[in-house]
Amino acid sequence: MKVSESLPDFPWDHLTPYAETARGHVDGVVDLSVGTPVDPTPEVVQAALRGAADAPGYPMTVGRADTRQACLDWLARRFGVTGLGLDAVLPTIGSKELVGALPTQLGLGPRDLVVVPELAYPTYEVGARLAGARTIATDALTAVGPERVSLVWVNSPSNPTGRVLPVDHLRKVVAWCRERGALLVSDECYLECAWTERPVSVLHPDVCDGDPTGILTVHSLSKRSNLAGYRCAFVAGDPALVGELLAVRKNLGLMMPTPQQVAMRAALEDDEHVDAQHARYAARRTALKDALERAGFRIDHSSASLYLWATRGEPCWDTVAALAEHGILVAPGAFYGVEGRHHVRVAFTVTDERVEAAVSRLAAIG
């Protein structure tokens, strides 16, 4: 059997006809379906990349010590995560690569069960399937039953809903995983994209009591620093688990290029560009949220991340089709799980001009 036959259909292929409709708008498409950054990569990062362009030798999989230290310093400065050493962090070539490969690299297989959120980034399931593991989608761990669970994914702030999990909930998840001997992996790629609630890392002492045992967190610079094209991310947590990943990844030759490591350090050490980008996104979010609500949509959750989780009480594909007729392309909630079948995900990672165009078109609907 081909490996691809074990995977779910690539969801975005189903959006193609609606994209064609939206592109037919006289003023062009407003693509709010994918959360890809459009603003310039910060100059401080570009300068660091240029300065490190002469890199003739192979980088090390473990990464530069100064880059890993910058990761630890950022976690401490911005999110109060302390007590980790250099052996608790590992740079990765983007976060999606890590998410998709993690179950395989940690040795999961057909005997293993992976728990993913009810509404979730599809790559969690893809990674489990590639390893031959089984998945269950639930937000209620008590509903899993007595079966042995090997890995639990949490995602706060959530993609697609923007939901933030409170400290008490995360503490219960940590306790449950430790009681059951399950690995907890927290996708925290949107930590700095907070609007009405402040998210917390599962590595914060209030959540894990300062003990990272059995916990990994995934972090990305794509959104916070407009570095999607650089593929800069890292994993942090239990040194034993990080060490296992390192041992496997060394054999696979998975190495972040040296110039990107230098650029990553520069990005993590500079807060000014993050605050400026946060302000841009806040303005775009407010404009789109107000316009959607005037057009009859209800916005659920959406207190963080780069998306609005919107509904007008109809099947999500009907909403996608209706908005496409106005030249607006959004992602159907069904991409992320059956619980999203009446919602659409609206990204606000487009230019100010395209936001203005979307607001104008939504006014015609309202």
Question: Confidence class of residue 6 from pLDDT cuts 50, 70 and 90?
Answer: low
Nearest-angstrom CA–CA distance, 150 and 332: 30
What is the mean predicted confidence (pLDDT) over 140-169?
Answer: 95
The band of 14, judged by pLDDT with boundaries at 50, 70 and 90, is confident
Q: Are strands 298-300 and 232-237 parallel, antiparallel or unpaired?
A: unpaired
pLDDT digits (tens, 9 = 90+) for 156-175: 999 999 999 999 999 999 99
Least confident of 13-17, 121-125, 161-165, 268-272: 13-17
Question: What pLDDT, on a 0 to 100 scale, did the predictor assign at position 143?
Answer: 84
- 275 band by pLDDT with thresholds 50, 70 and 90: very high
Q: Are 358 and 348 in contact (CB under 8 A)?
A: no
- Residue-level pLDDT at 226: 96
Q: What pLDDT is stored for residue 142 in this prediction? A: 86
Average pLDDT, the chain: 96
Of residues 6 and 42, more confidence is placed in 42
Q: pLDDT digits over 286-296, tens only?
A: 999 999 999 99
Q: What is the mean pLDDT of residues 15-39?
A: 95
pLDDT digits (tens, 9 = 90+) for 57-92: 999 999 999 999 999 999 999 999 999 999 999 999
Sign of CA pseudo-dihedral 103, 109, 115, 118: positive
Grade residue 13 by pLDDT with cuts at 50, 70 and 90.
confident
Residue-level pLDDT at 148:
93
Look at residue 2 in the predicted model and tell me its pLDDT. 66
Radius of gyration of the chain (CA): 20
Examine the pLDDT at 5 and tell me if it is beyond 70.
Answer: no
Average pLDDT over residues 129-146: 93
- The domains found in the chain, sorted by start residue, are 3-40+273-365 (3.90.1150.10), 43-269 (3.40.640.10)
Average pLDDT (242-262) is 97
DSSP assignment of 257-305:
-HHHHHHHHHHHH--HHHHHHHHHHHHHHHHHHHHHHHTT-EEES-SBS
pLDDT(247) > 70: yes
